[in-house]
């Protein structure tokens, strides 16, 4: 059980570091989303979309880290496996997104499968533990 907690934490932090790396070097990612001939307005639009996507992802990390550090889901096997699998997959996919310069529309797919699913389950666990006063699901 303790190795699952450590693996979950490390996967979550690896995914977070990858997202922060994309956030800091988003200029190349935005250019990869645009055609060869683009205007400044198109650049600003794509940059804004990517900033919104990365910001929402950071919000999902905040939810997950709050649930993890509060103890509500730290020892929940289901959340541990789901979170570890999703965040490892998300880290690998985002590294390909960063290095292979995939289009920005692919980021939303990665976000949906690798950030939203564990965060929604975390919210359900937080409601169950703190709202309904249950030990765990």
Token pair in block for residue 54: 């990365």
- Say if CB 90 and CB 18 are below 8 A apart: yes
The pLDDT-based confidence of 133 (bands split at 50, 70, 90) is confident
State how far the Cα of 130 lies from the Cα of 137, in Å rounded to an integer. 12
Q: Give me the pLDDT at residue 132, please.
A: 85
Token pair in block for residue 109: 């797919």
Q: Please, what sign has the CA dihedral across residues 99, 101, 106, 108? A: positive
Please state the rounded mean pLDDT for residues 32-61.
95
- Say if CB 29 and CB 101 are below 8 A apart: yes
pLDDT exceeds cutoff 60 at 136: no
Its pTM stands at 0.90
- Domain residue spans of the chain: 2-131
State which H helix or E strand residue 67 sits in.
Answer: helix 40-70
Token pair in block for residue 68: 């993890």
Coil, strand or helix at 74: coil
User: Of 32-36, 93-97, 116-120, which range is least confident?
Assistant: 32-36
**66-85: per-residue pLDDT in tens?**
999 999 899 899 999 999 99
- Residue 92: phi and psi, rounded to 5, are -65, -45
Percentage of the chain modeled with pLDDT above 90: 83
The pLDDT-based confidence of 2 (bands split at 50, 70, 90) is confident
């Amino acid at each position: 059980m303790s190795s699952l907690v450590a693996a979950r934490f490390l996967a979550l932090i690896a995914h977070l570091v990858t997202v922060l790396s994309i956030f800091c070097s988003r200029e190349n990612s935005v250019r990869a989303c645009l055609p060869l001939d683009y205007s400044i307005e198109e650049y600003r639009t794509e940059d804004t979309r990517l900033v919104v996507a990365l910001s929402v992802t950071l919000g999902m990390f905040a939810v997950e880290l709050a649930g993890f550090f509060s103890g509500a889901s730290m020892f929940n096997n289901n959340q541990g496996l789901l979170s570890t699998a999703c965040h490892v997959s998300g880290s690998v996919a985002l590294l390909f997104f960063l290095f292979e310069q995939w289009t920005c529309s692919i980021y939303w797919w990665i976000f949906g499968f690798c950030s939203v699913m564990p965060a929604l389950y975390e919210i359900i666990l937080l409601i169950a533990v703190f709202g309904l006063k249950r030990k765990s699901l």
